[in-house]
Amino acid sequence: MHTLDLPAPDADALAHSAHLAAVLRERIAAHGPLPFSAYMERVLYAPGLGYYSAGSRKFGAHGDFVTSAELGPVFARCVAAALAPALRGLGHGADWLELGGGSGAFAEHALLALASRDALPACYRLLEPSAELRARQQARLRARLPDALFARVQWIDRPPETPWHGVLFANEVIDALPVTRFTLRGGEVFEEYVALDGEDRFVRQDRPADALVAGAVRHLEHRLGRPFDDGYRSELLPQLPYWMQAVAGTLQQGLALFVDYGYPRAEYYHPQRRNGTLRAFYRHRVHEDVFFHPGLQDLTASVDFSALAEAGAAAGLELAAYVPQGRFLQAAGVAAVHAEAAQGLDAAGLYALAQEIKRLMLPEAMGERFQAMLFARGMAAAPLPAELLLAELLLADRRARL
Ligand SMILES: C[S@@+](CC[C@H](N)C(=O)[O-])C[C@H]1O[C@@H](n2cnc3c(N)ncnc32)[C@H](O)[C@@H]1O
């Protein structure tokens, strides 16, 4: 899509974006081109200015994109149904940690569903780096949850530093981590930077990669069993193992579930995917211009699930299942969730519910593009949620493709 076809932002939004762009230009003028990952980090998370840290609407029909959690209550109810047996089995003091809670929609529906299943965590922790989203989550949950449930919610600034047990959950968080972009020239690894041209416009610039990035790309080639072609461009997350260790390293006993769009490594770095998976979302349009109104659009890249599996293993987690979202929801009992949610709905409500489930489940919608990766740690002693994990989920398991 050409960016000229995108809807124009209003004057306030334009001024906001111009402010962020000016800050970035000053930074580049003073210190030289920014690695793309640093550019992405700033346009998404610069305090008060970045896409996630400032007031742009982001989620839902009037925002830029819709996540599974934003479509309605079904996704959160299914995740709660899937993880409730483990949470109950882990017993008193088991916590739930949600990373990147967005608008708070997931937490709201998950907590209500866990309460109805008698599987409430001692504490529902939200780790949300964006102050603006944290305030939104607080307002939403305070308004919509009974006091006794709201009292269990706690916002934390960094991952738990002391050992804990329970459930870790993240939907569409890894796709929002700043990626390093790389390309190959004459067999050498180059890293993509953001520079300014003679007219002060942002432009991409490739520079010889440092040892960390070059090493990460060579490691990828080694795992793929082939070198990248000249001109091939893609992205990676060299920080993923450290991130995983940080968020899950203190989980002593429990499950960790990550849901996101992505592929196993061989598909992610398929020779024909010559320009990677990085894309921009603006008012439900997907395009490739990462410099379009910085701060007003989301930037995101798909997840390399093989890399996630390795990062989990390095952090001491055991890979329990890797399945497409549609199969995960099926295994979690989406049919029962549907039947329960349908009770008492009028025709319009039933139609909306059916549409929500279709979007979550259909392969061409979110059912196949999104994957669920489940890790376990120290669960041998606790009852595994056998009725879920061992039967349906393991039948659908695609770990062999990683
Ligand atoms: C695409 S949104 C998804 C929101 C929500 N999980 C959903 O499904 O609607 C990405 C979320 O991840 C958060 N995020 C970004 N980096 C993070 C990090 N390092 N740790 C935790 N959350 C992060 C963002 O602020 C935002 O809330």
d(CA 299, CA 287) in angstroms, rounded, equals 10
Q: Which of 365, 289, 302 is nearest to 6 (CA)?
A: 289
Q: Average pLDDT in the 117-126 region?
A: 97
Using a 10 angstrom Cβ sphere, with 0-12 exposed, 13-18 middle and 19 or more buried, the burial of residue 45 is: middle
Hey, whose CA ends up nearest to atom 19 of ligand 1?
177
**DSSP H or E segment with residue 375:** strand 370-377
Hey, whose CA ends up nearest to atom 10 of ligand 1?
173
pLDDT for residue 394 = 66
Instruction: Report which of residues 386 and 251 the model is more confident about.
Output: 251
Identify whether 213 is part of a domain: no
CB distance 300 to ligand 1 below 6 Å: no
Beta bridge partners of 312: none
Centre a 10 Å sphere on the Cβ of residue 306 and count the other Cβ atoms it contains: 22
φ, ψ for residue 303, nearest 5 deg? -100, 135
Separation of CA 271 and ligand 1 centre (Å): 30
d(CA 95, CA 375) in angstroms, rounded, equals 16
Report the atom number in ligand 1 closest to the C-alpha of 68. Answer: 8
Task: Kindly give the pairing relationship between strand 124-127 and strand 95-99.
Answer: parallel
pLDDT at 56 over 80: no
Q: 3-state class of 291 per DSSP?
A: coil
CB distance 137 to ligand 1 below 6 Å: no
Residue 82 near residue 75 (C-beta atoms within 8 A):
no
Identify whether 260 is part of a domain: yes
Q: Which of 173, 308, 325 to mutate to test the pocket of ligand 1 (most atoms within 8 A of CB)?
A: 173
Q: Average pLDDT in the 334-342 region?
A: 96
- Per the structure, the count of domains in the chain is 1
Identify whether 172 is part of a domain: yes
Separation of CA 60 and ligand 1 centre (Å): 15
Report the atom number in ligand 1 closest to the C-alpha of 175. Answer: 1
Report the atom number in ligand 1 closest to the C-alpha of 52. Answer: 25
pLDDT for residue 62 = 77
Separation of CA 70 and ligand 1 centre (Å): 13
CA angle in degrees (0–180, nearest 5) for 192-194-197: 125
CB distance 108 to ligand 1 below 6 Å: no
Separation of CA 99 and ligand 1 centre (Å): 6
CB distance 176 to ligand 1 below 6 Å: yes
Q: Work out whether the CA dihedral 53, 56, 60, 64 comes out positive or negative.
A: negative
Using CA atoms, how far residue 304 sits from 65, 189, 235, 279, 298, in Å, is: 21, 19, 10, 15, 19
Identify whether 148 is part of a domain: yes
pLDDT at 235 over 70: yes
Q: Which of 300, 310, 302 is nearest to 244 (CA)?
A: 310
φ, ψ for residue 58, nearest 5 deg? 70, -75
Domain of residue 148 covers 68-176+241-267+302-401
CB distance 50 to ligand 1 below 6 Å: no
Separation of CA 189 and ligand 1 centre (Å): 30
Q: Average pLDDT in the 193-198 region?
A: 96
User: How many alpha carbons fall within 13 Å on the CB side of residue 123?
Assistant: 11
CB distance 159 to ligand 1 below 6 Å: no
Which pLDDT tens digit goes with each residue over 139-166?
999 999 999 999 999 999 999 999 999 9
CB distance 97 to ligand 1 below 6 Å: no
Report the atom number in ligand 1 closest to the C-alpha of 177. Answer: 16
Identify whether 191 is part of a domain: no
Separation of CA 97 and ligand 1 centre (Å): 13
pLDDT at 383 over 60: no
Identify whether 197 is part of a domain: no
CB distance 100 to ligand 1 below 6 Å: yes
- CATH number of the domain that residue 129 is part of: 3.40.50.12710
Separation of CA 200 and ligand 1 centre (Å): 31
Confidence category of residue 3, pLDDT binned at 50, 70, 90: low
Identify whether 84 is part of a domain: yes
CB distance 56 to ligand 1 below 6 Å: no
Burial 348-380 (b: 16+ CB within 10 A, else e): eeeeebeebbebbbeeebbbebbbbbbbbbebe
Identify whether 212 is part of a domain: no
d(CA 371, CA 374) in angstroms, rounded, equals 10
CB distance 70 to ligand 1 below 6 Å: yes
Q: 3-state class of 145 per DSSP?
A: coil
Query: What does the mean pLDDT of the chain come to?
Result: 92
